[in-house]
Amino acid sequence: MDLSERKLKILQAIIGDFIRTAEPMGSRTLSKKFDMGLSPATIRNEMSDLEEMGYLTHPHTSAGRVPSDKAYRLYVNDLMEKRTLSEAEKQLIRNKLRSNLSELEKTVQHAARLLSEITMLTAFAITPSQEADKLKGINLLPVDERTVVLMIVAESGKVSNTTVRLKDPYSMESLELLSKSMTYTYKGKALSEVLTLDIIQTFRTDMEALSRLAANIMPNFLGILKRMLDVDLFLDGYSNIFSFPEYNDIDKAKMFLELLNKKEALTKTLMERDDGIMVTIGNENTDDRMQECSLITATYHIDGKLLGKLGVIGPTRMKYDEVISVIEYITENLSESFRLSGGEEQE
């Protein structure tokens, strides 16, 4: 059976109304609310067809019809009109993202918060995986006689550092020498690669003073590398789900929040997603616990290379058009701000 013009109209009406009200719609209500010159009985027949085709369900015999995941998919792909954001909304997004450029993590965290505030959903963001990033330089800077700062610069421009307190005092010469020889040894190697190396093997020196210093520094060096490889996950707007009647059931709310609490699993799920805007609806999600949720994610870029993800999670009944527009605009802006990163355009 084909989706006639009329069927599409009816389906669209049901989906649109359900997204707003969360109430199953009956034939009578539909015929009154959307004046399309058809009697409830006719609509009933059409609805019955639509149900047979898998676009509608009803929770029980005497309830109205509710869109299925398949219907949402159709809606997202074909029926939905793309929302354009108002100038005020755009302004808001631009301002909030501009104001805090200096550090990747903070900016991404802010983006997640912003997204959750605008969409009223639970939002999350992950920083890019730095797997492929390579070491560019290793600096050791004197702070005081027993303290040095170890700073690692990656090719992507990411800089990480830690303060190291040493057991013994050091000389400026050995410090300089160590940083030079570390750079020499590890420059151009991928961060992940260095971590797998046996440091003692790859980095050895005959000078006693130097090797003592190195013994102090090396654990920190590895620690930083590990940290740089970490993908950070930021979540915001937990309590937003309570504004959805589908989560008035305490057990569902609990399940949802527990899902969000499994940060490792969530990070993994996000990292595996396709690039660009990706929408998965209800049963399209592989995770069991997400069968009643929709997930919308998008990709942002850093210097056109490294990819991070940003998105929302909510009930399958969500305002796909609005949410998608907002996510799109935010990721665009986020990529944009990272392009002129370092803040040269800050006021």
In the complex, the residues that contact DNA under the rule CB under 7 A are 24-29, 37-42, 44-45, 47-48, 51, 58-65
Q: How far is the CB of 347 from a second copy (least distance, A)?
A: 8
Q: Are 27 and 44 in contact (CB under 8 A)?
A: yes
State the binding partner of 63 from DNA, a second copy, none, CB within 5 to 8 A by kind.
DNA
CA proximity to 115, closest of 126, 129, 102, 104: 126
Residue 260 or 277 having the CB closest to a second copy? 260
Tokens representing 180 are 């030079």
State the binding partner of 308 from a second copy, DNA, none, CB within 5 to 8 A by kind.
none
Q: How far is the CB of 31 from a second copy (least distance, A)?
A: 35
Residue 33 or 268 having the CB closest to DNA? 33
State the binding partner of 238 from a second copy, DNA, none, CB within 5 to 8 A by kind.
a second copy
State the binding partner of 65 from a second copy, DNA, none, CB within 5 to 8 A by kind.
DNA
Q: Are 311 and 297 in contact (CB under 8 A)?
A: yes
Residue 43 or 259 having the CB closest to DNA? 43
Contacting residues toward a second copy, per CB under 8 A? 101-103, 106, 136-137, 139, 141, 143, 147, 149, 151, 153, 157-159, 161-167, 216, 219-220, 223-224, 227, 237-239, 242, 248, 250, 253-254, 257-258, 260-261, 340-344, 346-347
Q: How far is the CB of 44 from DNA (least distance, A)?
A: 5
CB proximity list for 344: less than 8 A, separation 6 or greater: none
Count Cα neighbours of 169 within 13 Å in the Cβ-side half-sphere: 4
3-state SS assignment for residue 147: strand
CB proximity list for 199: less than 8 A, separation 6 or greater: 218, 221, 222
Tokens representing 271 are 């990292």
**How far is CA 268 from each of CA 105, 189, 233, 235, 271, rounded to the nearest angstrom?**
18, 25, 10, 14, 5
Q: How far is the CB of 332 from a second copy (least distance, A)?
A: 20
